[in-house]
Amino acid sequence: MTTLILIGLVSGVVTALSPCVLPVLPVVLTAATQDGAASRWRPWLVVGGLVTSFGVFTLLGGALLSLLHLPQDLLRWLGIAVLATVGLGLAWPRLGHPLERPFVFLRMPRLNRAGNGFLLGAAFGLVFVPCAGPVLASITVLAATAEIGPRLVVLTAAFCVGLAGPLVGFATAGRNLAGRIRAVRERTPAVRAVGGVVMLATAAVIALNVAEPLQRITPTWLSGLTGRIEAGAQDELDALAGGERSMTFDDCAAAPAGLQDCGAAPELTGVTAWLNSEPLTLESLRGKVVLVDFWTYSCINCQRTLPYLTRWHDEYADDGLVILGVHSPEFAFERVEGNVRDNAARLDVRYPVALDNEFDTWRAYHQRFWPAHYLVDQEGTVRQVHYGEGAYDETEALIRDLLGIGGTAAGSAVEESTPGRSPETYLGAARLGAIANDPVITGRPNRFTAPADLARDVFALDGTWTVDDEYAQAGADARLAYRFYAAQVHLVLGGEGTVDVALDGDASYRTTVEVSGSPTLYTLYDGAAREDVLRLTLSPGVEAYAFTFG
């Protein structure tokens, strides 16, 4: 429990120091000085109201909206409406009095100098709900699925306390500064009117998402700290989510060569569309052996498993095997049904595929990896779990065992990945890999300068780039260098244009990749394993998402 509290506190502090606080910071500062900076407790009341409503509506709001089948952004728009209404009342008192009348019979405090800062802060909490980091994302998912328990409440409370600390500091500093300015002390009505205008402007900024580019400009040190918190919190968050099944699956994955009892297979849920099949359920497939395979089409590791899955589908479908792909998108472009359909056809995927765009089935299986498969017997029990590539012969032997087919499979040679190869590397800000440039400005075009030397498994940008959440988009004179070790280099690319490829260690290696259509995986190098510096020159508009290596 102590670890959970520390995770919540630190994550809350990081969230309050991140750019995601920008939309509500102006109203926190102005609300804290609405009484002419006379009350030293007002900053505490405003922030207390904000984090209380934030925590309560994060825990209960999602579950209530799901129960009533209401839009998930309802609270956000409700908060914007409240913020705009309060702003109108403060900016134009003649309008404010009619707005107060419906609340007279409820004995609610009026929005005047003696008004209740706690209730005002509570209205801001609704606006702040969408601004959540990885820990709050886990809280929201658990709350939406009605898995609210004491540990989840403690984590949420700790997060809110951590969030409140810096906000109280900001609000108190604003109140103290305002208290030193005579004009603020002597012109309270004017200050209230200015505060109302700020609230109206803030409501408009939030509604129109105008602040998004600023929110994406995250300092490198803060991105690194967030990543370390996320990694360190994973075990605790897995346990909070009800880790029994996850641990059972993990235990089964440790021994993929034999049939085991890994528990009942969770049902497919939240599927948005089907490819190559009418809608299916595991219940309807009772009596058959089902291999549930989680994949995504731009993942090279997933692509390397597809020939085996396709062969098993061809050889054993008549004997009662169903290969069932669950496509859980890694990138936003993989949510588009047409993109998945086109790439499934390109990759010769002929078995049923469920589109899990909202990750409902992914969460039901407590998934963490692409690819991963779950072998389910005729009674609906998971008998084998395997994460990643490999274990093909073992899996095929278990399939034959469950189907009651005698003899042994002929098997096929497995294409081995290069030991010690460079890791998968993302170029988007949300999961940015090891990059030599510092700082990395995101959300707008920026000039980068690559260093002369690179450490292994580190890349560098040069020229003009726009680093967005999921990809880096090439601008004028865009170049990229990556020191890698592998036999194959792949890169997910999107947009329209060309990529010129060269290797420092082989002057004769020159190739040009034509990029067009929806983002997909392109091979930049395929040969003997080597350590070298890959150099790319990209035409403006080309989007680079992630490197993978073989």
- What is the model's pLDDT at position 484? 93
Pair of tokens at residue 140: 């929201």
**Does pLDDT of 448 surpass 90?**
yes
**Residue 264: strand pairing partners:** 381
**Does pLDDT of 301 surpass 90?**
no
Q: What percent of the chain has pLDDT over 90?
A: 15
Determine the Cα angle at 379 with ends 375 and 380, to 5°. 50
Q: 425-549: what fold?
A: Jelly Rolls (2.60.120)
* pLDDT tens string 84-112: 776 666 666 666 556 555 544 444 444 44
Q: CB neighbours (10 Å) of residue 106?
A: 6
pLDDT classification of 133: cutoffs 50, 70, 90:
very low
SS3 content of the chain, % helix, strand, coil (to 5): 45, 20, 35
- CATH homologous superfamily, domain 243-403: Glutaredoxin (3.40.30.10)
In sequence order, what DSSP letters do the residues of 146-167 get, joined into one string? T---HHHHHHHHHHHHHHHHHH
Q: Which of 117-121, 193-197, 270-274 has the highest mean pLDDT?
A: 270-274
- What is the model's pLDDT at position 87? 65
Would you list the domain boundaries of the chain?
2-235, 243-403, 425-549
pLDDT classification of 429: cutoffs 50, 70, 90:
confident
- What is the model's pLDDT at position 204? 73
* pLDDT tens string 255-268: 777 788 888 888 88
Cβ atoms of 541 and 474 closer than 8 Å: yes
Measured CA to CA, the distance from residue 15 to residue 11 in angstroms comes to: 6
Measured CA to CA, the distance from residue 239 to residue 170 in angstroms comes to: 35
Check residues 308 and 69 and name the one with the higher pLDDT: 308
> For residue 144, what are the contacts with CB-CB under 8 A and spacing of at least 6?
62, 63, 65, 66
pTM above the 0.85 mark?
A: no
* pLDDT tens string 482-537: 999 988 898 888 889 999 999 999 999 999 999 987 788 888 998 889 999 999 99
- What is the model's pLDDT at position 217? 45
Q: What is the dihedral of CA 512, 517, 520, 525, to 10 degrees?
A: -10
Nearest alpha-carbon partner for 230 in 135, 339, 333, 97: 135
- For helices 2-17 and 220-240, give the axis angle rounded to 10 degrees: 150
- Share the mean pLDDT of the chain: 74
Q: How far is CA 108 from CA 101, 103, 112, in A?
A: 10, 6, 12
* pLDDT tens string 139-164: 554 554 445 667 777 777 887 887 77
* pLDDT tens string 332-388: 778 888 888 888 888 888 999 999 888 888 888 887 777 888 888 888 888 888 887
Q: Which of 158-172, 249-263, 319-333, 404-418 has the lowest mean pLDDT?
A: 404-418
